[in-house]
Amino acid sequence: MNDLAGKHIVLGLTGGIACYKAAELCRALIKEGATVQVVMTEAAAQFITPVTLQALSNRTVYDSQWDARERNNMPHINLSREADAILIAPCSADFMAKLLHGRADDLLSLMCLARPIDSVPLLVAPAMNREMWAHPATQRNLAQLQADGATLLGVGSGFQACGETGDGRMLEPQELLQDVIAFFQPKVLAGEHVLVTAGPTFEAIDPVRGITNLSSGKMGFAIARAAQEAGATVTLVAGPVHLPTPRGVQRVDVKSAANMLVQAVDSAGAATIFVATAAVADWRPASTAEQKIKKDASGLLPALEFVENTDILATIAQSPRAQSGALYCVGFAAESHDLLQHATAKRIRKGVPLLVGNIGPATFGQDDNALLLVDADGATEIARNDKLTLARRLVAEIAQRRKAAANPA
C-alpha cells in the first residue's frame, strides 16, 4: 500500500539545522509513492547540499528564481502548478514571517505566493529555538498563516541543537509523513468525536497471574488512526498492548475490564461515535489473591470462582445519548466459527445499528484481517486486506451510516 501514490510534493527547505531531517523525509515521501521536487533557499544550502537532495529525489534541485532551465524563465509558476501540495520542512521563523507578509524575494517564497490557493495547499513544519517559537511575534504569525489557509503541522519538544530544551524542534520525518498522508485523506468525520476501545483486558488472579486473550489491538489502533485522518477528534481507550499511539489521538491506558468500563463510559459523554473493538474479558476472578498463589504437594488446582464483567458495549448502547441517536455505536465480534450467525445474534443482543464480525484466530496479532458488516438489512463482506486499509473503509461506512441515521429520508 502506497498512501501517496500519484501525489507530487514540492518539498521546500529553509535555513535551519533541521535540514538534515529533510533528507529522510524526502526518502520517506518517495517510499510512500510520491514524486518529490525539492526547492531550497540560499540559507538551506548552508546546512545540506543540493546534491544530497538531488540524489534522494532523483530530480534536479531548484534554488534560484532565475533558473535558466525553464523555457519561460518562470519556475515559480511551473513548479507550483505541478504540485499536489507544497511542504515547507523545515520552515524557519524568518520564512514564516516572509510568507505572512507575502514577500517574494527568492524562488521558494515566490512560488508559495504564486501557487493557486484553492488547488495547491501549503503545509508548514516549523523549526526553531524554543525562545523563537514562544515569541509573541512568531505565535501571531502562526495564527495568521492558519487564518490565510496554511496547514501548520506543529512542532516537537526536546533537546535542541543550541543546547537548550523545549518546544520548537521540527517533527521527526515519520511524524511528518503521517501528517502528510492524513492531510490527503477525505475528511468524512470532520466535527465528530470518536471513542475507540482496543486490545485485550487483563483480569488478575494474583499479583503475577491473570486471564487475558490474544488480541493485539492492531485493528482498534488502525481505526483510531483512520478516524483521526478523517477529521475526527479521537479518544482511544487501550488495554495492555505495546503499540505506538496514532498521531493526533488521545490515548488512555487501562488494564482490566472494570478499568475500561469506567474510562469508556466517561469518554462516551463527549463522543458522537463509539467503536468497541476491544476484546473484553467476559469473566473475572471473584477475588484477587494479595500474594502469588503457590503450588502445594497435593497436585490439585487452586479453587477459582468467576463473576461476569459488565458488558461495556451494551451499557453504552443502552445509554440515553445512544438511544436518542446522539451517539452512534458500532460493535465488534471476534468469533471462532459460524461468524454470520453469531454476529447477527450479537448485534441484536447488544442493541447496536452496526456490528463488525471477524474470525479471532485468523486476525489476532496479524497485520491483515477480513470483516463482515452486519446491520438490520443483512451482511456485507469486506475482503481480507491490511488493517489500516480496512479501517479506512470501515470509517467511510460509519460516516455514511451515521449521516443517514441523522437525516432519515
Residues with a known catalytic role: 162
Q: Dihedral angle at the C-alpha atoms of 344, 345, 348, 350, nearest 10 degrees?
A: -110
Sign, CA dihedral 400-360-246-392, equals negative
Q: Kindly give, in sequence order, each residue whose CB lies less than 8 Å from that of residue 65, ignoring residues fewer than 6 positions away.
A: 75, 76, 106, 107, 110
Helix ranges, 309-386 (H): 312-317, 320-324, 339-350, 360-363
455514511: which residue's cell?
400
**Under a CB-based contact definition with an 8 Å cutoff, are residues 352 and 333 in contact?**
no
CA angle at 313 for the pair 283 and 285, rounded to the nearest 5°: 10
Asked whether 44 and 14 are in contact (CB, 8 A), the reply is: yes
Residue 151: closest CA among 128, 174, 130, 171: 171
